[in-house]
């Protein structure tokens, strides 16, 4: 997961791999893509595969909320009894949602991250599904507009335009109470 361990950096062509943090450099005619480790735990990895079959081996099995319907989302969410936060970020259940987007999704849906999936109503699931799709589509478009045709200069899970992620103690943009 890039936001937890690894970082991708676009540098000028021929950039050198940093001694302590550097894992790999991919050289292209107009620049170098560096993969670095952001922690001392050395958990980041780079896997090179060829073909869809080899890539499929890394699929954890979760549903993609942008390509699946409400019924499949509901089934995935109810497959195991966890908190909503854990279920949204478990790639075996839901694919591609990390810590930052799960916070934004739960806020938009008006649901507690601690609500158990065994206690969620059908109406709440429908709202969570729509919030999930909305947040992912909104942020995909926002980040595409910010970057344009280039590569993002700084990739971070904390963005000032986020409603709640990384804003502990600040007033909620909806109700004004401190974000917890």
- Tokens 């401190």 sit on residue: 178
pLDDT score at 98: 87
Q: What is the mean pLDDT of the chain?
A: 88
Domain co-membership, 71 together with 151: yes
Residues 21, 41: Cα–Cα separation, whole Å = 11
10 Å CB burial of residue 122 (0-12, 13-18, 19+) is exposed
Residue where a domain terminates, one of 58, 74, 90: 58
**Rounded-to-integer distance, Cα 61 and Cα 165, Å:** 26
Question: How many folded domains does the chain comprise?
Answer: 2
Q: Which domain holds residue 69?
A: 61-180
Q: At 153, is the pLDDT very low, low, confident or very high (cuts 50, 70, 90)? A: low
Question: Are residue 43 and residue 68 in the same domain, yes or no?
Answer: no
The tens digit of pLDDT for each residue in 113-132 reads 999 999 999 999 999 999 99
154 and 135 belong to one structural domain: yes
pLDDT at position 65 is 96
User: Where is the domain boundary, 34, 58, 82?
Assistant: 58
Domain with 177 in it: what CATH number? 1.10.8.50
Work out whether the CA dihedral 149, 153, 2, 44 comes out positive or negative: positive
State whether residue 45 is helix, strand or coil: coil
Does residue 54 sit in the same domain as residue 68?
A: no
Residues 74 and 124 placed together within one structural domain of the fold: yes
Residue 87 shares a structural domain with residue 167: yes
């Amino acid at each position: 997961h890039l936001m937890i361990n690894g970082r991708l950096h676009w540098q000028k062509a021929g950039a050198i791999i940093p001694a302590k943090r550097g894992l790999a450099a991919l050289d292209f005619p107009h620049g170098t893509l560096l993969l670095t480790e952001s922690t001392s735990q050395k958990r980041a990895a780079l896997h090179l595969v060829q073909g869809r079959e080899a890539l499929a081996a890394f699929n954890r099995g979760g549903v993609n909320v942008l390509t699946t319907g409400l019924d499949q989302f509901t089934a995935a969410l109810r497959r195991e009894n966890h908190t909503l936060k854990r279920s949204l970020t478990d790639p075996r259940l839901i694919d591609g949602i990390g810590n930052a987007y799960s916070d934004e999704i739960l806020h938009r849906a008006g649901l507690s991250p601690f609500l158990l999936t065994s206690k969620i109503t059908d109406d709440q699931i429908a709202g969570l599904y729509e919030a999930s799709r909305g947040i992912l589509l909104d942020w995909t478009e926002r980040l595409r507009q910010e970057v344009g045709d280039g590569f993002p200069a700084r990739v971070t899970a904390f963005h000032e335009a986020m409603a709640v992620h990384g804003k502990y103690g600040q007033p909620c943009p909806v109700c004004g109470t401190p974000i917890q």
